[in-house]
Each structure stands twice: as C-alpha cells, then as structure tokens.
Structure 1
Amino acid sequence: MAIIDARTLPDASPIEADLVIIGGGMAGIALARELAGGPLQVAILESGGMEIDGENQALYAGSGVQRAPGNPDRPFDDYPIQSRVRALGGSGHVWGGKCAPLDPADFAERAWIRHSGWPVTREAMQPYYDRACDLLEIARFPLERQPSTDPARQPLALDAADGFFPAPRAFSKFSGGVDKAAFDAFRTRFAEAPNITVYLHANVTKIRRRDAEIVGLDVACLSGQRHTAKAARYVLAVGGIENVRLLMASENLGNRHDLLGRFFQGHVTYSADGDAEAEGTAVTISRDTPMELYAPAKRGAHCVIGADLQAQARLKTGNFTATLFRATTTNPDTKAIARAGGRLAGRGDGQVLGYFAMAEHFPNPESRVTLDPDHKDSLGMPRVRLTWVYGEQDYPDLERSVAGLADALGASGEGRLCWSIPRDKLLAISSASRHHMGTTRMHADPTKGVVDPDLRLHEASNFYVAGSSVFPTSGIANPTLTILALVMRLADHLKRETVQ
C-alpha cells in the first residue's frame, strides 16, 4: 500500500492491522514479502528512515564488555551502536552478502556441549533454506555434499578420516554494501502490495499485554508524536540485542524463567600476522595446483574448512572453520605471511596462504544483555548493557580444533598449519562480527527457552520473535540465511493459523 513517515501522522494516530511486524530489517522485510498479496493486512513499524541517520543510530548506544578466562577484560562500549543499523533494511545496509546454512552438527544435541540442540533438524530446515536462497538469488545449498568437477577447485583430502570438509559460502547481491540499487528494490518494492504498509520513524517503546495476550503497542517518534498499534498477532524482529531490550522494557515480558537476554553468543575471528619473533596464522599447502575453491582471486563463492559432527565428537569440540585467503605485501595485516609465501614459492615448494579461525561460542547463561536503568535514550528507553562472556571451555576448544586441523593436514600430506596466538592474547586480538544470537532461544520446554519451536513467545499466545536471537547455538555460518529460512517457516505457520 505505502511507505509512510509516522512523523507526518496526526498525534495519537491508531495503526491497525491483522499482523504488526516490529522491525524493518532483513527478517521483517522477508516476512512481509512472504505475506504480500495475501489476505492479511500487514504493518511494519521501522524505527529508522530510509537511510542511516545519526540521531536514529544514537538510540542504540549502550555499554559493553567482553570477558574470557585468563584474559584481561576488554571494554566494548562501542559495539552496541556500531554493530547494528537503524533504517529500513536494517543491517542489510552494511552486510557483505555472505550466505551459508548452519551445518547438521549445529542442530544436534551434543553431549559434550551444555545447552546444545535445536527443536528442529537440519533436514527439516532444507526446504526453507531453499526458499531463502531463492529470495536472495543465490544457488541453493544441498543437504548432501556435492563433488567438484572443476580441476581448479578440488578440495583438500581431509574429509574421510578426519571429518574436516569444504563448507560452501556464497554471496547475495541484496546488500547495501554490494549492490545498492538491488538492495533498495529489495527493501521497498514489496510495500507496493495492497496489504502491506510500512511506517518509518515508528519506535515501539512498550508491548502491552492482558494475561497471555498482547493487546497493543506504544509507538513514539523522535519528533514527539505518540501513536498506538494494534493487531491480532505480532512479530518482534529488531535484532538479537533490541529484541531483549524491548521485551525487558515491557514489564520483563518473556522472562518468567530468567532466560531472557541470557546465552548471548557472537562470532569472532582469530588471526595474526607474523613478525621477527613469531610466525603468523598461515597454512603451508603442499600442492602447487590452484586453491580457487578456498581462496579465489576475486570475491565470490568459495569454501571454508569446516569440522563436521564426526570431527567434533572425536575432538570433543564445537563447530570450527578456517577461512583461507591470499596474503599480500600491500596489506599491512598480512605482510609477513606474504613474504613467507614468496620465499616458499621461490623454492618451488608449495604455497602459503593466510587463514583466520572461527570457533563456536558455546551457550553461556552468564553471557547476557541487561538493561541499564540509570541511562536512557531520547525516547526514555533504558539503554542496554552487554556482558559478552566466554566460558572455561571456549578457548581450549578453539586450540583443540586448530590442532585437529593441523594434524589432519600433516597426516594427509596436504600441508602444515601455524598457530601462534597465546591463549591470554586471544580476546585482545579477536575481531567481532555483527552477529547477536541466543538471547531469546527457542526450546519446546518453557523453562529452557523464551520462544517455542514455532517462534511463539511462551508467555503470549499471539506474539512471535524472529531473528538470530532465537538460535539455541551459534554455529559458525553468517546468520542471515538461517534467519530468513526461519522466517519462511514462520510465514507458513502464520498462513496456516489464518485459515484455521
């Protein structure tokens, strides 16, 4: 129907629909697209405008700290504001477009990892992953691994005995950082459907409930207007931190069992260039044949080295990947690795690539998002405090995973791997991604999760939560594709409810 600036509405305007989606990021847009042209009248309430704006971004400001055993605390106050975007399209404005499904192991309950296991299997998610890939116009990811017939893209021989395999990654054009014109069309054209209305600059400040039913929303504009929104059903999709913030600010909705905001998980990478005293994180590959499968010359579809359930069970670790890349002397972060590669190539003895490691951040109830009642934003909402905590298992797990890959490379004759980062330096050198997971985790048991397997809030009959906050475990893959797959699944559920 339209994209409307809520600031232009008369004060105290009522917004009414069959379904209200709180948040116009990738999840909210994908859900609206699935419902476009259908019988439901859908309203999206987006806090920001069409483009990134400093006044809107300031609403994200909060405080943060990272903690890990044996490492000094790392102040992280900038992360809550820098890792999100408050505008129509959400973090799709800065997302690089990288896509991958979670691995089958990510959905499994692994006895050696507390709080692991999803209430849905990877096999059951396959049709929704297929639909998410179609939406993003990328090739689908088949459940069974496909052999490569391209001689320039042959995998390392690590899989059969050791459980390390080539895990594919693809890139979508629907990103503000990749193809802005395509992204702009993706985030706006769905609103042309007669049953869709998008409201910009519409900040939801409170969710109102009566017993187990949500009965309305308070909506505020930075310009001073106040509105209300009411629907038969609601979907909250404002990100892994803001989902928690709004629920907590709404009389602790969803927190009956003190789970809301806990189990925050993030993705970080670990790498280091070498110097005169230490080698960098580099892989020496024995073969001289091209490594296009893992380190293509140009940005595009490739594979990382992943650890499947067999490897994780053998090593008693979580998920792990090593992403290989071509080091260059023009990059100040990879100069030493590139020089080492040049020396090796000069002898005609294989090749050297840089790599960065990622290890699954284990679910930890002490890693959490809370509210800071002493500091409020310009709408009167309490700001967030992020306490991002690694447990005793995380860093030893990372080191065992690296050692397992090194053993596999050596035993197969495919190469050698160097790991030169002391455990007490891991937190300081880690680089955080914009991925916020786990804070409204899904579980069939309301004492173990905030939402049920249909993403319905356990405490409300007509309220759902979408996004990576519902992930029980983090895996390694960029979360966007799984977020969209879960949205496809939710859309089907909402359609079924409509016809009942």
Structure 2
Amino acid sequence: MRVFRRILPGSDREAPMILDGRDIGDGGVIATQVCIVGSGPAGITAALLLQKAGYKVVLIEGGRNPGYYQESWAEKNLLYAGQAEGLFTTNEPDFLIQPYAGQSARGWERERVYGGTSTHWGGQTRPLDPITFEARPGFPGWPITYEDLIPYYAQAAKLCVLHGDDFSADYWAGVLSAEVPDIAGFDTEMYQFMGGAYTNFATRTFDGVTAAEAIAEIIVNATLLEIQHAGGVVQGLRVASLDTSFPPAKATEFTITADVYVLACGAVENARQLLLSEAGNDQVGRYFQCHPLSGGSALSVSGNFISPAAMRLIKGQTPTGTWTDDNGVTVQGRFSPSADIQRQYGIGSCWFRPYTSSYYFEMRPNDESRITLADTVDPVFGQPQTRIRWEVGPGDQHTYETSTLLFQEAIGALGGQFYYPSWEDLKSQLIVNGHHIGTTRMSADPAKGAVDADLRVHGLDNLYVAGSSVFPQGGISNPTLTIVALSVRLAEHLGERLGRARPLRTAELEDA
C-alpha cells in the first residue's frame, strides 16, 4: 500500500500537492479525512474551506490541467458519449459530448478538466429567489429556506469577489444613478458578472493563493470507477488513471479511503456515478432540469416606454458609460414575473430583457426527465454509458404562454410591442443552455429525493453530493452562486461532523 504525503521544509504543515493519477501505482491506497470528486466551483469551494479549517482533503479530477482542452476532445468523446433521448433527439442529439459552439470552442457543457466548467464560465451570478424554495403546485420546494441560505450567500459573494451581496434593484438604481422600471407584474432582477480574473476556480487566487497551493492534495487524471459501500457506509473509492496513448487506456488503478466522501461532478455524472455503484435510492437520476433557452421573441418600442435612467439600470450603465468596479464586476438587469404573479398563475419564472431575442425559463420538475445507464459501454473502462432523457411538458408550456402574454400586455400598456413564437415553434428550438439541474435532488423524504437537507445521500452515512444536481427546482438565476453557497454550507456541516481536526501527521511518501 502506498500512502502519499509530504511536508513543507522547516514546517510541520503539509505542503500542497498536485499529482497525476499515473504516478500512483496499481494497488496504491491514499488515506484522508475528506475525499472530494470533481474540481469545479462546488468541489474546490468545499475543499478550500475544509483544508483551511485544518482537515486533510484529497480532491480528485478525472481530467487534467486547464490547458488541456483541444487534446481532451477525443477523451471526452470516448468517456462522455451515451444515448440522448426525448427532446434531445431532435434538438441536441450530441448533447452529452457537445461543446458550446463548434470544435474550436474552448467550453463544453460537461467538462473533464481541472477547474470544471468554471474554466469557461461567464461569471453571471444572482441568488435564487425566495419563491424558488416554496412548495406550490407543480414545484416541490426545498427542505431548506431562503433565509437558511442568506449567510452562505454572503460568504459565496465574498468568495466570488462580487460587489457585495445586495442584488436588489433599488440598491443598484442608487449605484448607477438610475431608476427601477415599472412594468406591471414584473420585477427588475439584477445580475452581477464576476471579474474575469476570478471566474476560473482552477487558476484564480483565494486570499492570494490558488486552490492548488491551498489544498493538501489534488490528483488529476483520476477517474472514479466505483463507490465501494456496504451496510450503508462507503468504504472507499476505486479510481483509475489514463495513459497518454490514443485512444487512451487505463494506466493505473488505486483506492482512496476517507471518513467522508463528496461527489461534485455535475448533474449528469453525479447521477451516473451513483447508478454505476448502485448507491442511493430509486430517486437518483430523476428530475433532470435546465434553463431552456430559445430565440424568436422580439421587443420593439414606440415612445419612451422605459426611461433613459431605467435603461441604465438594465444595461448596468452610469451616465458616462458601462459601470464596473475595481475587481471587474459588471451588472445587468432582467425582467421576471413577480412572486405574486407566479403564485397567482401557477407558473415558473423566466426572464426577458430589452432588445434581445432570447427566452429563458424555469422548468417544472418532471421525473421522466432523467439519467439512467445506457446499454452501451465506454471503450476505455468498459462501464455503462449515460442515457439521458429531456422532456418539457404541459406545465412548461403554461409557463411560456402565460408569461409571454403577461409581458406582452405590460409592454403594450407602456407603448411598446412584444412578439413571440408559438409554443410548438419555440419547443423545436430549445437548447439546454449549460445549466444542468436536479438528478440527485434534495428532500427530507427519501421517497421524493436522493439526498437530505445536509446533502447526504439517503441510505449512505458518509457520502454527500454537491452542485446543482441537488437543486429540487432550478429557479431562474444562474446556479453557480447557489452552488458555491451550498458548498460553504456543506463544508460547515462536514466540519461539525468530523469534529476537531486531527493533528496533521507529517511524513514523506511511504510504502506500507
């Protein structure tokens, strides 16, 4: 058994490490307190905070470094391919392996690289709305409240180096010397866009150091093959590395043991990993959601239906130009149905914005929109691939048709015009838009969800899940700020569970 540790010269503090899985020989065993699988914002946030609190953390990533994009395309095609069904069949048949925009694009919807999808994240942030946490017809609500998350949103805003944690339109009207638009039934919701120096969690700094400098051990090229569990307890993770041949082949296989384990691999892979290992209950994989996006709507103006000051609020501009703070944060507004309108008409949220032709909405959770295991296997490890089905239903149609009609009426009353396509025309254009939600949703009742309010997998004492896969419903805000907030909360919970950090033993690489 090989256990990997090292210390800083002249110090009793363990030094940070980035290892390649190929450097760990067959049969090696790495022992730690916390093992986190996945290096996007969810995984890195939890790892940083736990490491800072004095706990021993190992973070593993199936991919390699952030400069590995083009070379990793073939690897992603081999390991991420599968079967896409439902609306994917016509709209995005290659969804599981599809980059955002062509083979020259840097970003893929599903990343297999150190840093995860933060490596191409646009930095758009906003908390979920309080109504997202409420149970109402067609929407399950969350087992925690908006108020429960407020302190964690504040910490997430600091981690993301935002311009504070106040997202209210009134606050930003003051910052921008503007006014809040008055559109009947619709709120002006403000989004902060992070500065470009802070969006990539793999390369940015946190309090002056990168994640690689702060986390005790990071292992890249380390693909999770199996969650080994018995009697309701995870006993270890079976992990493998790839060689550099083409097509790649397995190079080494090793084991990681820990007190607690966290899956932070994204909504598709979190579910697949649980299914591969028969871990969790029959709710795993269900309720796949996204923020469906389509073009086709158009807004035209006759008269001064939105004042110049209000337009500055929407566009994030001061009278002298586009506003930005010292850390590169910018802002932009959207129009969304108010909470009262959502309750009154039984719709999900959505957003509109001036002079654009896109429509973006909150899906109603649907248990037939789901992840299962395909009857095909990947050619590298011989494991079942992903089968994903995406369905939009009558509730989504109701949200679309009601919200667009209400917006059309509100804009018409102000002297503008709003055009939108039929549901069937819109449905034929819908794409997922990169936000993968649900599949391991949070619920106090194991019959209705895969993880509990602490993000612990139902039926397994020491396995947790992080990321937007735990969202019971998606709301309308971009998910990453909430992902970070939930990871802050998870780190706090794990710290309380583990108790006082054990003294970190110092030793060199040793064979045992």
**Short-chain TM bin:** 0.7 to 0.9
1:174/1:2 Cα in 2 relative to 1: closer, same or farther (>3 Å)?
farther
- Equivalent in 304, 311, 317 of residue 341 of structure 2: 311
Q: Is the 8 A contact 1:263 1:368 kept in 2?
A: yes
1:383/1:126 Cα in 2 relative to 1: closer, same or farther (>3 Å)?
same
TM-score w.r.t. the length of structure 2 is 0.82
User: Which residue is equivalent to 1:339?
Assistant: none
User: Which residue is equivalent to 2:90?
Assistant: 74
CA distance, structure 2, for counterparts of residue 151 and residue 464 of structure 1: 42
User: Which residue is equivalent to 1:168?
Assistant: 190
1:179/1:35 Cα in 2 relative to 1: closer, same or farther (>3 Å)?
closer
Residue 150 of structure 1: how far off its partner (Å): 5.8
1:77/1:419 Cα in 2 relative to 1: closer, same or farther (>3 Å)?
same
Residue 184 of structure 1: how far off its partner (Å): 4.4
Residue 55 of structure 1: how far off its partner (Å): 4.0
Instruction: Tell whether 2:178 aligns with 1:153.
Output: yes
Q: Is the 8 A contact 1:292 1:302 kept in 2?
A: no
User: Which residue is equivalent to 1:340?
Assistant: none
CA distance, structure 1, for counterparts of residue 451 and residue 29 of structure 2: 28
Instruction: Tell whether 2:220 aligns with 1:200.
Output: yes
Give the counterpart letter for 1:157 in structure 2: D
CA distance, structure 1, for counterparts of residue 350 and residue 365 of structure 2: 15
- Equivalent in 25, 41, 48 of residue 10 of structure 1: 25
Secondary structure of the residue aligned to 2:312 is coil
Instruction: Tell whether 2:60 aligns with 1:45.
Output: yes
Give unpaired runs (5+ residues) of structure 1: 273-279, 325-352
Residue 182 of structure 1: how far off its partner (Å): 8.6
CA distance, structure 2, for counterparts of residue 377 and residue 437 of structure 1: 27
User: Which residue is equivalent to 1:209?
Assistant: 229
1:315/1:141 Cα in 2 relative to 1: closer, same or farther (>3 Å)?
farther
CA distance, structure 1, for counterparts of residue 442 and residue 176 of structure 2: 43
Secondary structure of the residue aligned to 2:191 is strand
CA distance, structure 2, for counterparts of residue 102 and residue 288 of structure 1: 28
Instruction: Tell whether 2:494 aligns with 1:473.
Output: no
CA distance, structure 2, for counterparts of residue 188 and residue 261 of structure 1: 36
User: Which residue is equivalent to 1:338?
Assistant: none
Residue 215 of structure 1: how far off its partner (Å): 0.2
1:212/1:180 Cα in 2 relative to 1: closer, same or farther (>3 Å)?
closer
Q: Is the 8 A contact 2:336 2:351 kept in 1?
A: yes
Residue 8 of structure 1: how far off its partner (Å): 1.6
Give the counterpart letter for 1:318 in structure 2: G
User: Which residue is equivalent to 1:20?
Assistant: 35
Instruction: Tell whether 2:268 aligns with 1:241.
Output: yes
User: Which residue is equivalent to 1:336?
Assistant: none
1:144/1:122 Cα in 2 relative to 1: closer, same or farther (>3 Å)?
farther
Query: What is the CA RMSD across the aligned residues, in angstroms?
Result: 2.3
Q: Is the 8 A contact 1:173 1:183 kept in 2?
A: no
Deviations 1:80-136 (A, max 9, x none): 1231111110001111111111101111112x324x210111111111011111001
User: Which residue is equivalent to 2:382?
Assistant: 380
Deviations 1:421-444 (A, max 9, x none): 122111222243111111000000
User: Which residue is equivalent to 1:108?
Assistant: 134
Deviations 1:227-278 (A, max 9, x none): 111001100100000001111100x2112xx211110001122322xxxxxx
Give unpaired runs (5+ residues) of structure 2: 1-15, 99-108, 244-250, 324-329, 501-512
CA distance, structure 1, for counterparts of residue 408 and residue 460 of structure 2: 49
Residue 38 of structure 1: how far off its partner (Å): 2.7
1:150/1:201 Cα in 2 relative to 1: closer, same or farther (>3 Å)?
closer
Secondary structure of the residue aligned to 1:482 is helix
Residue 151 of structure 1: how far off its partner (Å): 7.0
1:139/1:296 Cα in 2 relative to 1: closer, same or farther (>3 Å)?
closer
Give the counterpart letter for 2:486 in structure 1: L
- Identical aligned residues as a percent: 33
User: Which residue is equivalent to 1:267?
Assistant: 291
Deviations 1:321-353 (A, max 9, x none): 1133xxxxxxxxxxxxxxxxxxxxxxxxxxxx2
Deviations 1:372-430 (A, max 9, x none): 1323241222111111001111112211011112222334x2x4242231221112222
Secondary structure of the residue aligned to 1:403 is helix
Residue 476 of structure 1: how far off its partner (Å): 1.1
User: Which residue is equivalent to 1:390?
Assistant: 392
Q: Is the 8 A contact 2:169 2:180 kept in 1?
A: no
Residue 463 of structure 1: how far off its partner (Å): 0.6
Give the counterpart letter for 2:348 in structure 1: G
TM-score w.r.t. the length of structure 1 is 0.84
Secondary structure of the residue aligned to 1:63 is strand
